[in-house]
Structure 1
């Protein structure tokens, strides 16, 4: 039930406050997000090591992951990028708000048993992940090639830190 509430809540907020008239501008960033989300799932499956996994799924794990990847996060990307401050002075606070909200939602999910962490993943890693994810989404929107290159480095970093043996 938790995941259904989060997904529907994200959609409702995005419809109410997002800049849907600009969705085509954000489409490459949707694809960027989906690519790396699916890549994580693939690596987790091949490496038989999931750092986090949804529990108490909405219908099934496949449906929950699919709804998050292809419905919830595109809605959140529209909300995040569509309301991104034009003035440099408000940007840090904007990032802090988004990172904090995401971490709070993850903490609630963890406490309710809607997500579980494994293999050394923790709330500290969640903070780091969101603190890099939101700037990377913005960077991808503005300079996609640089964001893709940096994302590959982040993937390699996570593979090394969490001791994935894929080769």
Structure 2
């Protein structure tokens, strides 16, 4: 399923011709990749959720790199490319609802297949809430990248605190 999601993302970007706008949204595509890398780094010993590979040779590291470098950036590109700017609040709301619903729907399928495992109090509900925050952050990052990076720091600290994720800073010995 994971490989299929990456392939679907590539095909969708190609068919919708969203790839023409990749330069316009490149920094936000990097932002979502950085977010996934940050999660993987900070939670390496305390996963809140973990994706399980569908295929033996497609190990956890390759799986996470696929999401980090393909699936997440391409879905961010699609989300931003078709953002209904200036088309009214209802269209904007429906756009967010579609993408949040898509992410939650895919996660439900992954959960039913046993392709995602939740730990330490994380659940589908927390993922849905996170998606409700993530998509507005993607739009905000596109509009105000520095501001979004700055407010992402306390948001990250909040999530670390909320789920009691142990983070230790190694102090070099003298």
Calculate the TM-score normalised by the size of structure 2: 0.89
Q: Distance in 1 between matches of 2:164 and 2:136?
A: 25
After TM superposition, the structure 1 = structure 2 runs for residues 71-90 of structure 1, keeping only pairs within 5 Å, are 71-86=70-85, 87-89=87-89, 90=91
For residues 84-119 of structure 1, give each alpha carbon's deviation from its aligned partner in whole angstroms, at most 9, with x where no partner exists: 002232101110111011101001101101111100
Give 1 or 2 for the bigger CA radius of gyration: 2
Q: Distance in 1 between matches of 2:124 and 2:149?
A: 25
Higher mean C-alpha deviation, range 18-27 or range 114-123: 18-27
Corresponding residue for residue 40 of structure 2: 41
Corresponding residue for residue 145 of structure 2: 144
Corresponding residue for residue 156 of structure 1: 157
Calculate the TM-score normalised by the size of structure 1: 0.93
Indicate the RMSD between aligned Cα atoms, in angstroms: 1.2
How many angstroms does 1:19 deviate by?
Answer: 2.1
Please identify runs of 4+ aligned residues in structure 1 that moved more than 2 A: none
Q: Distance in 2 between matches of 1:134 and 1:6?
A: 18
After TM superposition, the structure 1 = structure 2 runs for residues 4-153 of structure 1, keeping only pairs within 5 Å, are 4-45=3-44, 48-58=45-55, 59-86=58-85, 87-89=87-89, 90-153=91-154
Q: Distance in 1 between matches of 2:166 and 2:62?
A: 28
| Structure number having the greater helix percentage | 1
Q: Distance in 2 between matches of 1:123 and 1:73?
A: 18
Q: Distance in 2 between matches of 1:88 and 1:148?
A: 27
Which blocks of at least 5 consecutive residues in structure 1 are unaligned? Answer: none
Q: Is the 8 A contact 2:2 2:54 kept in 1?
A: yes
Q: Distance in 1 between matches of 2:141 and 2:154?
A: 14
Which blocks of at least 5 consecutive residues in structure 2 are unaligned? Answer: 169-174
